[in-house]
Amino acid sequence: MPGFRLTLISTLVFVALIVVLPLFGLFLKTTTLTFPQFIAAVTSPRALLSYRLTFLSSFAAASLNAVFGLLVAWVLVRYEFPGRSLVDALVDLPFALPTAIAGLTLTALYTKDGLFGKPLAALGIQVAFTPLGIVVALTFIGLPFVVRAVQPILESIEPEIEEAAMGLGASRFQTFRYIIFPTVLPALLTGFTLAFARAIGEYGSIVFISGNMPMKTEITPLLIVTSLEQYDYAGATALAVVMLTVSFALLLLVNLLQRKLARVTGNAVA
């Protein structure tokens, strides 16, 4: 292919400068710690609780986005209604909105005196400055990933396929379960993966609504920033290495599952 060598070299150089070198520097900085110091830094009670909160909140938010993102994409593709273009544009708002502004807005809305927080507080539900608030913020910033991953797949499904299924006696639920859902499942899993990865590394929208209370509402990115503010650079990079390793393993697992589902779906269609 003409230009293959030049484009390959350019790609490798770009990836090395943008991805490989920063990651190499991260691992290199961690070597300033002895192994016992590294273990102590990444297994402290504060660190372990931050891991737990980070991954559970990210998984919960990504799961909510998988369900409601599919629903939003379905409505945008299958129905015509007034304001549809506006709703479609609003889906991308978390992409354009600075995360710090999103965090401030969500905090104002969900405090005990906020527009949404006040009626919820009357029901005994507190959102701001709790793990629930973290899930709300992570759901907000992750929704577009699922919607934009699923939407093109729904648009590509030919109506004749559904009509044929219904003509053979399939109900609407059976058509969705056996035809539509298997088709969109790889894309839905992609959106879930992107939303999950985005949530794991989120900081700006969390710092306000979480309250950043150690051992309670402190996620790992906040703990890393706190360590940096205390000039504990080696400890911060040690936490970052753990997050990077676990995140990469989870993303690799999900990607392998996604490829397997894509092959199974392709074979079924063939």
pLDDT category, 264, cuts 50, 70, 90? low
Q: Answer whether CATH 3.90.226.10 is correct for domain 35-269.
A: no
Q: What is the mean pLDDT of residues 78-90?
A: 89
What's the pLDDT score for residue 175? 82
What's the pLDDT score for residue 69? 94
Q: Evaluate if residue 1 carries a pLDDT over 70.
A: no
What's the pLDDT score for residue 57? 95
Structure-token pair, residue 263: 């092959």
What's the pLDDT score for residue 148? 93
Q: What is the mean pLDDT of residues 24-45?
A: 89
Domain boundaries, the chain: 1-31, 35-269
What's the pLDDT score for residue 52? 93
Specify whether the CB–CB gap between 250 and 164 falls below 8 A.
Answer: no
Q: Evaluate if residue 17 carries a pLDDT over 60.
A: yes
Higher-confidence position of 166 and 84: 84
Specify whether the CB–CB gap between 60 and 135 falls below 8 A.
Answer: yes
Q: Evaluate if residue 254 carries a pLDDT over 80.
A: no
What's the pLDDT score for residue 248? 84
What's the whole-number average pLDDT of the chain? Answer: 87
Alpha carbon distance 197, 251 (integer Å): 8
Q: Which residues of 45-83 are buried (b: 16+ CB within 10 A; e: fewer)?
A: eebebbbebbbebbbbbbebbbeebbebbbebbeeeeee
Q: What is the mean pLDDT of residues 90-106?
A: 88
pLDDT category, 61, cuts 50, 70, 90? very high
